[in-house]
Protein backbone atom coordinates (compact mmCIF):
# COMPACT_ATOMS: atom_id res chain seq x y z
CA UNK A 1 0.00 0.00 0.00
CA UNK A 2 1.49 3.35 -1.00
CA UNK A 3 1.99 6.16 1.48
CA UNK A 4 2.98 9.83 1.39
CA UNK A 5 4.79 9.77 4.73
CA UNK A 6 8.25 8.48 5.55
CA UNK A 7 6.86 6.35 8.40
CA UNK A 8 5.20 2.94 8.29
CA UNK A 9 2.67 2.06 5.63
CA UNK A 10 -0.81 3.30 6.50
CA UNK A 11 -3.88 1.86 4.80
CA UNK A 12 -6.26 4.16 2.96
CA UNK A 13 -9.78 4.11 4.50
CA UNK A 14 -12.34 2.05 2.63
CA UNK A 15 -14.16 4.01 -0.05
CA UNK A 16 -11.36 6.59 -0.43
CA UNK A 17 -8.69 6.93 -3.11
CA UNK A 18 -5.12 7.98 -2.33
CA UNK A 19 -3.88 10.63 -4.77
CA UNK A 20 -0.37 11.96 -5.52
CA UNK A 21 1.10 14.67 -3.27
CA UNK A 22 -0.10 18.13 -4.26
CA UNK A 23 -2.94 16.60 -6.32
CA UNK A 24 -0.48 16.38 -9.21
CA UNK A 25 -2.25 15.33 -12.43
CA UNK A 26 -5.51 14.77 -10.52
CA UNK A 27 -8.63 16.06 -12.29
CA UNK A 28 -10.92 17.58 -9.67
CA UNK A 29 -13.66 19.13 -11.79
CA UNK A 30 -14.78 20.11 -15.30
CA UNK A 31 -14.17 23.60 -16.66
CA UNK A 32 -15.02 25.46 -19.85
CA UNK A 33 -12.62 28.32 -19.18
CA UNK A 34 -9.34 26.93 -20.48
CA UNK A 35 -6.56 24.38 -20.22
CA UNK A 36 -2.77 24.02 -20.18
CA UNK A 37 -1.09 21.29 -22.22
CA UNK A 38 2.35 21.25 -20.69
CA UNK A 39 3.88 18.55 -22.90
CA UNK A 40 2.80 20.45 -26.03
CA UNK A 41 3.78 23.93 -24.87
CA UNK A 42 0.23 25.13 -25.52
CA UNK A 43 -2.59 26.68 -23.49
CA UNK A 44 -5.96 28.10 -24.43
CA UNK A 45 -8.87 30.20 -23.23
CA UNK A 46 -12.15 28.57 -24.20
CA UNK A 47 -11.72 27.45 -27.83
CA UNK A 48 -8.90 29.83 -28.74
CA UNK A 49 -5.12 29.77 -28.38
CA UNK A 50 -4.27 32.18 -25.55
CA UNK A 51 -1.13 33.32 -27.36
CA UNK A 52 -3.06 34.08 -30.56
CA UNK A 53 -5.58 36.04 -28.49
CA UNK A 54 -2.76 38.04 -26.91
CA UNK A 55 -1.40 38.79 -30.37
CA UNK A 56 -4.72 39.73 -31.97
CA UNK A 57 -7.23 41.10 -29.46
CA UNK A 58 -7.44 43.61 -26.64
CA UNK A 59 -7.81 43.01 -22.92
CA UNK A 60 -11.54 43.71 -22.84
CA UNK A 61 -12.22 41.25 -25.66
CA UNK A 62 -10.40 38.47 -23.82
CA UNK A 63 -12.19 39.49 -20.61
CA UNK A 64 -15.55 39.07 -22.36
CA UNK A 65 -14.45 35.68 -23.68
CA UNK A 66 -13.57 34.37 -20.22
CA UNK A 67 -16.77 35.68 -18.65
CA UNK A 68 -19.26 34.93 -21.41
CA UNK A 69 -17.67 32.19 -23.50
CA UNK A 70 -17.33 34.12 -26.76
CA UNK A 71 -15.46 36.99 -28.35
CA UNK A 72 -17.82 39.99 -28.17
CA UNK A 73 -19.66 41.72 -30.97
CA UNK A 74 -18.93 45.44 -31.27
CA UNK A 75 -21.91 46.49 -29.14
CA UNK A 76 -21.02 43.95 -26.45
CA UNK A 77 -17.42 45.15 -26.40
CA UNK A 78 -18.54 48.76 -26.02
CA UNK A 79 -20.82 47.75 -23.15
CA UNK A 80 -18.03 45.90 -21.34
CA UNK A 81 -15.59 48.78 -21.81
CA UNK A 82 -18.14 51.21 -20.39
CA UNK A 83 -18.95 48.92 -17.48
CA UNK A 84 -15.31 48.22 -16.64
CA UNK A 85 -14.43 51.90 -16.96
CA UNK A 86 -17.00 53.12 -14.47
CA UNK A 87 -16.19 50.30 -12.05
CA UNK A 88 -12.46 51.17 -12.15
CA UNK A 89 -13.25 54.29 -10.14
CA UNK A 90 -12.49 53.72 -6.44
CA UNK A 91 -15.48 53.93 -4.09
CA UNK A 92 -14.89 57.06 -1.94
CA UNK A 93 -14.86 55.06 1.30
CA UNK A 94 -12.14 52.75 -0.06
CA UNK A 95 -10.12 55.68 -1.38
CA UNK A 96 -10.20 57.12 2.12
CA UNK A 97 -8.96 53.85 3.65
CA UNK A 98 -6.06 53.22 1.27
CA UNK A 99 -3.54 55.61 2.91
CA UNK A 100 -4.04 53.86 6.24
CA UNK A 101 -3.70 50.42 4.65
CA UNK A 102 -0.51 51.44 2.82
CA UNK A 103 0.92 52.84 6.04
CA UNK A 104 0.85 49.36 7.58
CA UNK A 105 2.74 47.52 4.81
CA UNK A 106 4.86 48.11 1.74
CA UNK A 107 3.86 44.82 0.16
CA UNK A 108 1.50 45.29 -2.79
CA UNK A 109 -0.22 41.92 -2.39
CA UNK A 110 -0.92 42.61 1.28
CA UNK A 111 -2.39 45.97 0.34
CA UNK A 112 -4.51 44.40 -2.40
CA UNK A 113 -5.95 41.61 -0.27
CA UNK A 114 -6.71 44.01 2.61
CA UNK A 115 -8.25 46.57 0.28
CA UNK A 116 -10.39 43.98 -1.51
CA UNK A 117 -11.59 42.66 1.83
CA UNK A 118 -12.63 46.19 2.76
CA UNK A 119 -14.14 46.65 -0.71
CA UNK A 120 -16.35 43.62 -0.06
CA UNK A 121 -17.82 45.25 3.03
CA UNK A 122 -18.07 48.72 1.52
CA UNK A 123 -19.95 47.48 -1.55
CA UNK A 124 -22.14 45.07 0.42
CA UNK A 125 -21.01 41.86 -1.25
CA UNK A 126 -23.48 39.09 -0.48
CA UNK A 127 -22.58 35.40 -0.31
CA UNK A 128 -22.49 33.81 -3.75
CA UNK A 129 -24.91 31.26 -2.32
CA UNK A 130 -27.57 33.98 -1.95
CA UNK A 131 -26.80 35.94 -5.12
CA UNK A 132 -28.30 35.33 -8.53
CA UNK A 133 -26.27 35.03 -11.73
CA UNK A 134 -26.61 38.73 -12.65
CA UNK A 135 -25.49 39.87 -9.19
CA UNK A 136 -22.52 37.51 -9.25
CA UNK A 137 -21.48 38.76 -12.68
CA UNK A 138 -21.73 42.40 -11.58
CA UNK A 139 -19.59 41.64 -8.52
CA UNK A 140 -16.99 39.87 -10.64
CA UNK A 141 -16.83 42.77 -13.09
CA UNK A 142 -16.46 45.28 -10.28
CA UNK A 143 -13.71 43.36 -8.47
CA UNK A 144 -11.63 42.76 -11.58
CA UNK A 145 -12.09 46.38 -12.67
CA UNK A 146 -11.10 47.99 -9.36
CA UNK A 147 -7.99 45.82 -8.84
CA UNK A 148 -5.63 47.90 -11.06
CA UNK A 149 -6.87 51.13 -9.48
CA UNK A 150 -6.08 49.83 -5.98
CA UNK A 151 -2.62 48.67 -7.02
CA UNK A 152 -1.76 51.88 -8.88
CA UNK A 153 -2.99 54.08 -6.03
CA UNK A 154 -1.05 52.05 -3.47
CA UNK A 155 2.12 52.36 -5.54
CA UNK A 156 1.88 56.12 -5.75
CA UNK A 157 1.01 56.49 -2.06
CA UNK A 158 4.14 54.52 -1.15
CA UNK A 159 6.15 57.00 -3.24
CA UNK A 160 4.55 59.94 -1.45
CA UNK A 161 2.54 60.88 -4.55
CA UNK A 162 -1.17 61.50 -4.95
CA UNK A 163 -3.11 58.66 -6.61
CA UNK A 164 -4.21 59.31 -10.19
CA UNK A 165 -7.99 58.87 -10.55
CA UNK A 166 -9.25 56.34 -13.07
CA UNK A 167 -10.35 57.56 -16.49
CA UNK A 168 -13.42 55.50 -17.44
CA UNK A 169 -13.02 56.39 -21.11
CA UNK A 170 -9.59 54.78 -21.54
CA UNK A 171 -8.89 51.12 -22.31
CA UNK A 172 -8.16 49.05 -19.21
CA UNK A 173 -4.44 48.44 -19.84
CA UNK A 174 -3.80 52.04 -20.94
CA UNK A 175 -5.51 53.46 -17.88
CA UNK A 176 -3.59 51.13 -15.59
CA UNK A 177 -0.26 52.36 -16.95
CA UNK A 178 -1.45 55.96 -16.73
CA UNK A 179 -2.56 55.54 -13.11
CA UNK A 180 0.80 53.99 -12.18
CA UNK A 181 3.12 56.43 -13.98
CA UNK A 182 1.00 59.58 -13.92
CA UNK A 183 1.21 60.08 -17.68
CA UNK A 184 -0.58 58.77 -20.74
CA UNK A 185 1.57 55.91 -22.07
CA UNK A 186 2.86 55.59 -25.61
CA UNK A 187 0.78 53.26 -27.75
CA UNK A 188 3.64 50.74 -28.02
CA UNK A 189 4.02 50.59 -24.23
CA UNK A 190 0.31 50.24 -23.57
CA UNK A 191 -0.08 47.51 -26.18
CA UNK A 192 2.91 45.56 -24.84
CA UNK A 193 1.49 45.56 -21.31
CA UNK A 194 -1.95 44.69 -22.69
CA UNK A 195 -0.53 41.65 -24.47
CA UNK A 196 1.16 40.55 -21.25
CA UNK A 197 -2.14 40.96 -19.39
CA UNK A 198 -4.07 38.91 -21.94
CA UNK A 199 -1.43 36.18 -21.91
CA UNK A 200 -1.54 35.83 -18.11
CA UNK A 201 -5.27 36.11 -17.39
CA UNK A 202 -5.66 32.42 -16.68
CA UNK A 203 -3.45 29.35 -16.59
CA UNK A 204 -5.25 26.20 -15.57
CA UNK A 205 -5.88 25.02 -12.02
CA UNK A 206 -2.89 26.67 -10.38
CA UNK A 207 -2.89 27.01 -6.59
CA UNK A 208 -4.50 30.46 -6.42
CA UNK A 209 -7.24 29.61 -8.91
CA UNK A 210 -7.99 26.38 -7.07
CA UNK A 211 -8.05 28.27 -3.77
CA UNK A 212 -10.57 30.75 -5.17
CA UNK A 213 -12.77 27.88 -6.35
CA UNK A 214 -12.61 26.05 -3.03
CA UNK A 215 -13.83 29.19 -1.24
CA UNK A 216 -16.47 29.81 -3.92
CA UNK A 217 -17.76 26.26 -3.41
CA UNK A 218 -18.66 27.18 0.18
CA UNK A 219 -20.97 29.95 -1.10
CA UNK A 220 -18.83 32.73 0.42
CA UNK A 221 -18.87 36.23 -1.06
CA UNK A 222 -16.72 37.09 -4.05
CA UNK A 223 -14.34 39.31 -2.08
CA UNK A 224 -13.55 36.41 0.25
CA UNK A 225 -12.73 34.23 -2.76
CA UNK A 226 -10.33 36.83 -4.16
CA UNK A 227 -8.64 37.47 -0.81
CA UNK A 228 -7.99 33.72 -0.56
CA UNK A 229 -6.63 33.59 -4.10
CA UNK A 230 -4.25 36.49 -3.44
CA UNK A 231 -3.12 34.86 -0.20
CA UNK A 232 -2.29 31.70 -2.11
CA UNK A 233 -0.58 33.63 -4.89
CA UNK A 234 1.64 35.49 -2.41
CA UNK A 235 3.46 32.29 -1.43
CA UNK A 236 7.04 32.06 -2.79
CA UNK A 237 6.29 28.69 -4.40
CA UNK A 238 3.51 30.16 -6.52
CA UNK A 239 3.66 33.90 -7.13
CA UNK A 240 5.32 35.13 -10.26
CA UNK A 241 8.77 36.67 -9.88
CA UNK A 242 9.56 38.70 -13.03
CA UNK A 243 11.45 41.20 -10.91
CA UNK A 244 13.74 38.42 -9.65
CA UNK A 245 14.41 37.26 -13.20
CA UNK A 246 15.34 40.81 -14.17
CA UNK A 247 17.58 41.06 -11.10
CA UNK A 248 19.41 37.97 -12.38
CA UNK A 249 20.09 39.75 -15.68
CA UNK A 250 21.36 42.78 -13.77
CA UNK A 251 23.58 40.53 -11.67
CA UNK A 252 25.07 38.83 -14.75
CA UNK A 253 25.81 42.23 -16.21
CA UNK A 254 27.66 41.27 -19.40
CA UNK A 255 27.28 38.37 -21.87
CA UNK A 256 30.64 36.80 -20.98
CA UNK A 257 29.52 36.39 -17.35
CA UNK A 258 26.40 34.38 -18.19
CA UNK A 259 28.01 30.94 -18.35
CA UNK A 260 30.12 31.16 -15.17
CA UNK A 261 27.14 32.71 -13.37
CA UNK A 262 24.74 29.87 -14.19
CA UNK A 263 27.38 27.23 -13.36
CA UNK A 264 27.88 28.88 -9.99
CA UNK A 265 24.12 28.98 -9.31
CA UNK A 266 23.65 25.32 -10.20
CA UNK A 267 26.74 24.35 -8.23
CA UNK A 268 25.35 25.76 -5.01
CA UNK A 269 21.84 24.42 -5.64
CA UNK A 270 20.23 27.80 -6.30
CA UNK A 271 17.21 28.19 -8.53
CA UNK A 272 17.71 30.00 -11.84
CA UNK A 273 14.95 32.61 -11.68
CA UNK A 274 12.88 32.79 -14.85
CA UNK A 275 13.65 29.21 -15.94
CA UNK A 276 11.63 26.04 -15.54
CA UNK A 277 7.92 25.53 -14.98
CA UNK A 278 5.77 23.12 -12.98
CA UNK A 279 3.71 22.15 -16.05
CA UNK A 280 5.64 22.93 -19.23
CA UNK A 281 8.19 20.39 -20.41
CA UNK A 282 9.09 22.45 -23.44
CA UNK A 283 9.24 26.19 -24.21
CA UNK A 284 6.69 28.30 -22.33
CA UNK A 285 4.50 29.80 -25.07
CA UNK A 286 4.00 32.96 -23.01
CA UNK A 287 7.75 33.53 -22.89
CA UNK A 288 8.09 33.06 -26.63
CA UNK A 289 5.30 35.55 -27.28
CA UNK A 290 6.78 38.13 -24.90
CA UNK A 291 10.20 37.73 -26.52
CA UNK A 292 8.61 38.83 -29.80
CA UNK A 293 6.97 41.77 -28.00
CA UNK A 294 10.33 42.79 -26.48
CA UNK A 295 11.93 42.87 -29.93
CA UNK A 296 9.80 45.91 -30.80
CA UNK A 297 12.24 47.98 -28.74
CA UNK A 298 15.63 48.82 -30.16
CA UNK A 299 17.21 48.45 -26.75
CA UNK A 300 20.41 46.70 -25.62
CA UNK A 301 18.49 44.98 -22.82
CA UNK A 302 16.54 42.92 -25.37
CA UNK A 303 19.61 41.61 -27.18
CA UNK A 304 21.30 40.93 -23.86
CA UNK A 305 18.30 38.98 -22.53
CA UNK A 306 18.06 36.88 -25.69
CA UNK A 307 21.76 36.06 -25.59
CA UNK A 308 21.71 35.18 -21.90
CA UNK A 309 18.64 32.99 -22.42
CA UNK A 310 20.49 30.95 -25.05
CA UNK A 311 23.54 30.57 -22.79
CA UNK A 312 21.51 29.54 -19.75
CA UNK A 313 19.50 26.98 -21.72
CA UNK A 314 22.69 25.49 -23.18
CA UNK A 315 24.44 25.21 -19.82
CA UNK A 316 21.36 23.82 -18.08
CA UNK A 317 21.00 21.19 -20.81
CA UNK A 318 24.58 20.13 -20.06
CA UNK A 319 24.28 20.17 -16.26
CA UNK A 320 20.72 18.83 -16.00
CA UNK A 321 20.29 16.60 -19.08
CA UNK A 322 17.37 14.68 -17.57
CA UNK A 323 15.33 17.80 -16.79
CA UNK A 324 14.80 20.22 -19.70
CA UNK A 325 14.59 23.79 -18.41
CA UNK A 326 13.51 26.68 -20.60
CA UNK A 327 12.72 30.34 -20.03
CA UNK A 328 9.29 30.80 -18.48
CA UNK A 329 6.88 33.73 -18.59
CA UNK A 330 8.74 35.56 -15.82
CA UNK A 331 11.93 35.93 -17.85
CA UNK A 332 10.68 38.20 -20.62
CA UNK A 333 7.82 39.66 -18.57
CA UNK A 334 10.32 41.65 -16.55
CA UNK A 335 12.07 42.86 -19.69
CA UNK A 336 8.83 43.97 -21.34
CA UNK A 337 7.46 45.70 -18.26
CA UNK A 338 10.71 47.57 -17.61
CA UNK A 339 10.79 48.79 -21.22
CA UNK A 340 7.12 49.81 -20.96
CA UNK A 341 7.92 52.06 -18.00
CA UNK A 342 6.95 49.96 -14.97
CA UNK A 343 9.20 49.69 -11.93
CA UNK A 344 10.17 46.21 -10.67
CA UNK A 345 7.99 46.66 -7.59
CA UNK A 346 4.96 46.74 -9.92
CA UNK A 347 5.78 43.59 -11.91
CA UNK A 348 3.96 41.12 -9.67
CA UNK A 349 1.03 43.51 -9.05
CA UNK A 350 0.63 43.80 -12.82
CA UNK A 351 0.29 40.02 -12.97
CA UNK A 352 -2.59 40.35 -10.48
CA UNK A 353 -4.32 42.89 -12.75
CA UNK A 354 -4.54 40.13 -15.36
CA UNK A 355 -5.23 37.22 -13.04
CA UNK A 356 -8.12 39.07 -11.34
CA UNK A 357 -10.13 38.35 -14.50
CA UNK A 358 -9.17 34.67 -14.53
CA UNK A 359 -9.85 34.25 -10.80
CA UNK A 360 -13.28 35.84 -11.05
CA UNK A 361 -14.18 33.82 -14.17
CA UNK A 362 -13.38 30.66 -12.23
CA UNK A 363 -15.33 31.89 -9.22
CA UNK A 364 -18.38 32.46 -11.42
CA UNK A 365 -18.09 28.99 -12.90
CA UNK A 366 -17.64 27.33 -9.51
CA UNK A 367 -20.59 29.22 -8.02
CA UNK A 368 -22.91 27.41 -10.46
CA UNK A 369 -21.92 24.06 -8.96
CA UNK A 370 -23.94 23.23 -5.81
CA UNK A 371 -21.31 20.77 -4.54
CA UNK A 372 -18.86 21.96 -1.87
CA UNK A 373 -15.23 20.95 -2.41
CA UNK A 374 -14.51 18.73 0.57
CA UNK A 375 -11.70 16.18 0.12
CA UNK A 376 -10.45 13.90 2.88
CA UNK A 377 -7.07 13.45 4.57
CA UNK A 378 -5.50 10.16 5.60
CA UNK A 379 -4.58 10.13 9.27
CA UNK A 380 -0.97 8.99 9.89
CA UNK A 381 -0.49 10.03 13.56
CA UNK A 382 -0.38 7.84 16.68
CA UNK A 383 -3.17 5.25 16.71
CA UNK A 384 -6.26 6.23 18.70
CA UNK A 385 -7.80 5.85 21.18
CA UNK A 386 -5.25 6.51 23.89
CA UNK A 387 -5.84 7.56 27.52
CA UNK A 388 -6.13 11.30 28.02
CA UNK A 389 -3.24 12.49 30.25
CA UNK A 390 -4.50 13.67 33.62
CA UNK A 391 -1.40 15.25 35.11
CA UNK A 392 1.78 16.99 34.17
CA UNK A 393 1.07 17.51 30.46
CA UNK A 394 -2.46 18.78 30.06
CA UNK A 395 -4.54 20.32 32.85
CA UNK A 396 -8.15 19.21 33.07
CA UNK A 397 -10.88 21.86 33.25
CA UNK A 398 -12.10 22.76 36.71
Three-state SS at 235: coil
Taking alpha carbons only, the member of 331, 152, 356, 304 closest to residue 241 is: 331
* Contact in structure between 1 and 12 (CB atoms under 8 Å): yes
Active-site option among 60, 194, 330, 365: 330
The yes-or-no answer on residue 44 being catalytic is no
Q: Where are the alpha helices (DSSP H) in 105-241?
A: 108-122, 133-158, 172-181, 187-199, 207-217, 222-233
Angstrom distance (rounded) from CA 396 to CA 398:
6
Burial (CB count <10 Å: 0-12, 13-18, 19+), residue 162: exposed
Catalytic residue among 277, 309, 313, 365: 277
Name which of 328, 338, 251 is nearest 286 in CA terms: 328
- What's residue 210's pLDDT? 96
pLDDT at 393: 66
| Cα gap 394→103, rounded to integer Å | 42
Contact predicate 200/329, CB 8 Å = yes
Q: How far apart are CA 42 and CA 27, in angstroms?
A: 18
pLDDT in tens, the chain (398 residues): 344 444 456 777 777 788 888 887 788 889 999 999 888 889 999 999 999 999 999 999 999 999 999 999 999 999 999 999 999 999 999 999 999 999 999 899 999 999 999 999 999 999 999 999 999 999 999 999 999 999 999 999 999 999 999 999 999 999 999 999 999 999 999 999 999 999 999 999 999 999 999 999 999 999 999 999 999 998 877 875 667 788 889 999 999 999 999 999 989 988 888 888 778 778 889 999 999 999 999 999 999 999 999 999 999 999 888 888 888 888 899 999 999 999 999 998 999 999 999 999 999 999 999 999 999 888 889 988 988 877 666 666 66
| Cβ atoms < 10 Å from Cβ of 322 | 4
DSSP 8-state class, residue 36: E
277 carries an active-site annotation? yes
Question: Are 328 and 275 within 8 A, CB to CB?
Answer: yes
Enumerate the H helices of 253-395 as residue ranges. 258-267, 285-294, 300-319, 329-339, 347-367
Find the largest Cα–Cα distance for the chain. 77
- Check the CA dihedral 142-147-150-156 and report its sign: negative
The domain segmentation of the chain, as residue ranges, is: 34-236+345-367, 242-339
d(CA 310, CA 124): 52
Q: How far apart are CA 222 and CA 64, in angstroms?
A: 18
CATH tag for 242-339 (out of 3.10.20.600, 3.40.980.10, 3.40.640.10, 1.10.230.10)? 1.10.230.10
> Residue 231 class from Cβ within 10 Å (0-12 exposed, 13-18 middle, 19+ buried)?
middle
Q: Determine the pLDDT at residue 195.
A: 97
Q: How far apart are CA 52 and CA 44, in angstroms?
A: 9
The per-residue pLDDT for 26 is: 81
Architecture of domain 34-236+345-367: Orthogonal Bundle (1.10)
Task: Tell me how far the alpha carbon of residue 238 is from its chain's centroid.
Answer: 8
Q: CB of 128 within 8 A of CB of 137?
A: no
The reply to whether domains 34-236+345-367 and 242-339 share a CATH topology is no
Q: How far apart are CA 238 and CA 240, in angstroms?
A: 6
Position 9 scores a pLDDT of 64
48 φ, ψ to 5°? -120, 145
Q: In this structure, what is the dihedral angle of CA atoms 177, 306, 284, 241, given to the nearest 10 degrees?
A: -50
Contact 249, 308 (CB under 8 A): yes
- Residue 34's φ and ψ, nearest 5 degrees, are 175, 180
Q: Which residues contact 38 (CB under 8 A, 6 or more apart)?
A: 277, 279, 280, 281, 282
C-alpha 131/C-alpha 59 separation (Å) is 27
* Distance, CA of 254 to CA of 361 (rounded, Å): 43
Are 339 and 209 in contact, with CB atoms under 8 Å apart?
A: no
Amino acid sequence: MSTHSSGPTVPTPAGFVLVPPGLAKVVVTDTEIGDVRGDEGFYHYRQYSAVELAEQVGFEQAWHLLFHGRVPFAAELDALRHDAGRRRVLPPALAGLLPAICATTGDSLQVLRTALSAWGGITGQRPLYDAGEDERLASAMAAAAVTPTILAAAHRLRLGLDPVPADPDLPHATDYLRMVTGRLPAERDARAVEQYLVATMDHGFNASTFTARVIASTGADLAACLVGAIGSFSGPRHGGAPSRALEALDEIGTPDRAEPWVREQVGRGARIMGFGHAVYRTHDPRSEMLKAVARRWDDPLVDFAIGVEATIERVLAELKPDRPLYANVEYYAGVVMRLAGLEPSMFTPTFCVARAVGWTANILEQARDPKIIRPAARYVGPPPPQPVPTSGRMPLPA
